Structure 1
Amino acid sequence: MLVTHRVWRRSALGLVALTVLGGTGYAWAQLSKLDTGITVADVIAPSAKIPEGVSPSSVDQNILLVGIDSRNDAQGNPLPQALLDQLHAGSSEDGGDTTDSIIVVHLPAGGGAATAISIPRDSYVPLAGGLGSHKINSAFSRGKNAAKNQLRAQGLSGAELEKQSDAAGARTAVETVQQVTGLTINHYAAVNLAGFYSLSNAIGGVSVCLNNPVNDKYSGANFPAGEQTISGAEALAFVRQRHGLPSDLDRIKRQQAFLSGMAKKILSAGTLSDPTKLSDLISAVQGSLVIDKGWDIFSFAQQLRGLSAGSITFTTVPVQSLSMATGDGDAVKVDLGQIRAFVKQVTGQAVNGNASTGTGTDSSGGVGRIKNTAQTTSNTEQPVTSNATGCVN
């Protein structure tokens, strides 16, 4: 069954910020500053990169966006404990470097509407690099840990060890997503907890609406029902809350509501024409993102210059069950054939791989077991565009 509610999370905030920065002449003049200050990592295979001399706008592009549950900054340095406390993020030892959000953004050749395809973080799939079948959000951390011992043996330590092992984890995540979707990933962008905090603060908060009041001690989400403006730690709590919601898909709706509101805020509230607000936004983007080496962000922003808030469609890959028992605990059951057919349908792009691959197996070699055979809600609604609003759970 198809579900169309999962949407961008932390890393998407950075991409939307880049997208809307091209909206005014003044903002456009400031974009050249983005070429400095963004951390880069060599994570995209040469065969997947757009050849030199080829205009990016002339070919289909697929960008992998991930939000990493990391307690380090983009340069590999530990985040201050005071900030982690404010974000209800535990200690520097928590998190495990899993990717809490995994989104592929498809940009069609010649321009046109972008499509953001989310993959549920607990989808049980074969991981790249011979790491077995596990939840897809562990691809980054398992790839990172596999490389870390080798890097230590080479004498690396501290921030440099974190940066290079992060790059190895990113490569595993990219290869895994390529295997699952059948798409070739051309670019990669990641943001951590602190990045989301900074970006949401830079735009002065986002208006959201809740159907019911919430008070969750785990995420720090404590909000009344109705419309309200949130930023910083509150914004992070809003999109991170898991406990007390009917299902994880409701958290996905939260993420969608926030990002839709953010795009509207930047486009309509004078952010791009206000020198101070724009400077804050650019600084937040610079300090928050890790992107693939060689990605010309200035040229990318030029390509997106005409993209409006309503021309981004958010959708999710089909899922078969939200509760499949595996050696890694409850997971989301997906079928790779269904995913690839869906991806081809929404992007119009040919995909690689055998569409009859089926589900992954657990690490012991057995097929994951369905603990709750009820399938997810059928796809009776249209995909959501970024100008859609409304109250969420």
Structure 2
Amino acid sequence: MNDLIRQAIAAEAEERVDSRTVLANLHKAKKRKPFGLIVGVATLTVAAAVAAVVIPTTLKKTDASPAAQTPAAQNVLLIGTDEYHRTDALVFARFEGDGSATVISLPRDIYVGSGPDRINSLYMEDPRKLTDAVEQMTGAKVDHYAAINMSAFGQIAAAVGGVEVCLSAPAKDPRSGTDLPAGRQLISGDQALAFLRQRFDLTGGDLDRAKRHQAFLAGLAAKITKDNALMIARQVSGTIQVDQGWDVAEFAARFQGPVKIRTTTLPVGEPVQRDGTFGFAVDPAQAKQFVETQFNGEGPVRDGCVY
């Protein structure tokens, strides 16, 4: 699979890629490896989101017919994992036919069912268990999923010359390594990772960290172009997993430039304790209504600096 990916990237760089041949080879490889690594899709994540949007453009030219330029909307679960494949971030995103996206952060400590199990444990057990839980909680179908190691985002940020974020106050946290001034600034490499990981010194903990993920993804989306997608693909090759059967070329056809995204977080209650574990309970009716409203484009657009 990795050899096929390298061949596809090399061919694209020389502008002689045959998308039908590449996709046929990838299809054969996926039969041998159920969760084959495909450089055609990465996230957001996570956060897992923007890489999942743009990198597929390296596999296919934008020479689609008029009918293919308005594909159907797709709901994609984007998963950010740590080095142990634990879920660090979850994002449920609806990608419209024009390439715009509505991104909903799902707090990783949401309880699943009435016991102490939390949603961040499900991906390690079985990706299908995670997608089933998200569908049950939100009432929306998960068409596909993409998972990316969070460590790749520092490389991606560096590859695009830094991602702009805005902090309402200086941030310094020795546990995550964050050391950033207030205001607008470009982050990349280790500071990008620290920015995405900080939670202990934030008032809202993981909920505030989700806002940082959203700010990073919005900044990254603004920097993505067809010209730098190939470079990003090289940076994250080998760190991405997607579900079997995803037509990444069809998905890629809708993205022609910087990605327009709207971001928000699924409402949760106050943190509660179950069997010594803290987490968030979700009101099923409220969650379903919230997701439906956001995916219909009716929710407010949130902007501004993050804490």
Q: Same fold (TM over 0.5)?
A: yes
Q: Distance in 1 between matches of 2:72 and 2:104?
A: 18
Q: Distance in 2 between matches of 1:211 and 1:111?
A: 32
For residues 100-179 of structure 1, the aligned pairs below 5 Å read 100-108=88-96, 111=98, 113-126=100-113, 133-141=116-124, 143=125, 169-179=126-136
Corresponding position of 2:173: 216
Corresponding position of 2:244: 293
Residue deviations 1:214-268, cap 9 Å, x none?
221111111122332211111010011012111122222222221111122235x
The 1:14–1:278 alpha-carbon spacing in structure 2 relative to 1, beyond 3 Å, is closer
User: Which secondary structure state, in structure 2, belongs to the residue aligned with residue 304 of structure 1?
Assistant: coil
Q: Are the aligned partners of 2:116 and 2:274 in contact in 1 as well (CA < 8 Å)?
A: no
The one-letter code sitting in structure 1 at the alignment partner of 2:49 is A
Q: Distance in 2 between matches of 1:257 and 1:294?
A: 31
The one-letter code sitting in structure 2 at the alignment partner of 1:140 is Y
User: Which secondary structure state, in structure 2, belongs to the residue aligned with residue 32 of structure 1?
Assistant: coil
Moved more, 287-296 or 182-191: 287-296
1:346 matched to 2:260: no
Corresponding position of 1:319: 268
Per-residue deviation at 1:316?
A: 2.1
Corresponding position of 1:155: none
User: Which secondary structure state, in structure 2, belongs to the residue aligned with residue 264 of structure 1?
Assistant: helix
Q: Distance in 1 between matches of 2:146 and 2:139?
A: 19
User: Which secondary structure state, in structure 2, belongs to the residue aligned with residue 247 of structure 1?
Assistant: coil
User: Which secondary structure state, in structure 1, belongs to the residue aligned with residue 49 of structure 2?
Assistant: helix
Corresponding position of 1:303: 254
Corresponding position of 2:305: 391
Q: Which has the higher contact order (CA 8 A, sep 6+)?
A: 1
Q: Are the aligned partners of 1:9 and 1:239 in contact in 2 as well (CA < 8 Å)?
A: no
Q: Distance in 2 between matches of 1:266 and 1:60?
A: 20
Corresponding position of 2:284: 336
Residue deviations 1:255-308, cap 9 Å, x none?
2221111122235xxxx44xxx54321212433311112212222110333x75
Cα-Cα RMSD: 2.9
Residue deviations 1:173-214, cap 9 Å, x none?
112111211222111100013322332222121122222222
Corresponding position of 2:80: 67
Q: What is the identity percentage for the equivalent residue pairs of Structure 1 and Structure 2?
A: 38
Per-residue deviation at 1:10?
A: 3.8
The one-letter code sitting in structure 2 at the alignment partner of 1:11 is A
The one-letter code sitting in structure 1 at the alignment partner of 2:277 is G
Per-residue deviation at 1:320?
A: 2.1
The 1:282–1:70 alpha-carbon spacing in structure 2 relative to 1, beyond 3 Å, is same
Corresponding position of 1:197: 154
The one-letter code sitting in structure 2 at the alignment partner of 1:344 is E
| Match 1:13 to one of 42, 45, 50 | 50
Bigger radius of gyration, 1 or 2?
Answer: 1
User: Which secondary structure state, in structure 2, belongs to the residue aligned with residue 138 of structure 1?
Assistant: helix
Q: Distance in 2 between matches of 1:327 and 1:57?
A: 49
Q: Distance in 1 between matches of 2:75 and 2:150?
A: 24
Q: Are the aligned partners of 1:211 and 1:225 in contact in 2 as well (CA < 8 Å)?
A: yes
1:260 matched to 2:218: yes
The one-letter code sitting in structure 1 at the alignment partner of 2:78 is L
TM-score, L = length of structure 1? 0.58
Corresponding position of 2:59: 31
Q: Are the aligned partners of 2:105 and 2:265 in contact in 1 as well (CA < 8 Å)?
A: yes
The 1:315–1:278 alpha-carbon spacing in structure 2 relative to 1, beyond 3 Å, is closer
User: Which secondary structure state, in structure 1, belongs to the residue aligned with residue 151 of structure 2?
Assistant: helix
Per-residue deviation at 1:13?
A: 3.4
Per-residue deviation at 1:348?
A: 4.4
Q: Are the aligned partners of 1:190 and 1:289 in contact in 2 as well (CA < 8 Å)?
A: yes
Q: Structure 2: which 5+ runs fail to align?
A: 1-43, 62-67
TM-score, L = length of structure 2? 0.73
Q: Distance in 1 between matches of 2:137 and 2:291?
A: 10
Q: Distance in 2 between matches of 1:224 and 1:181?
A: 37
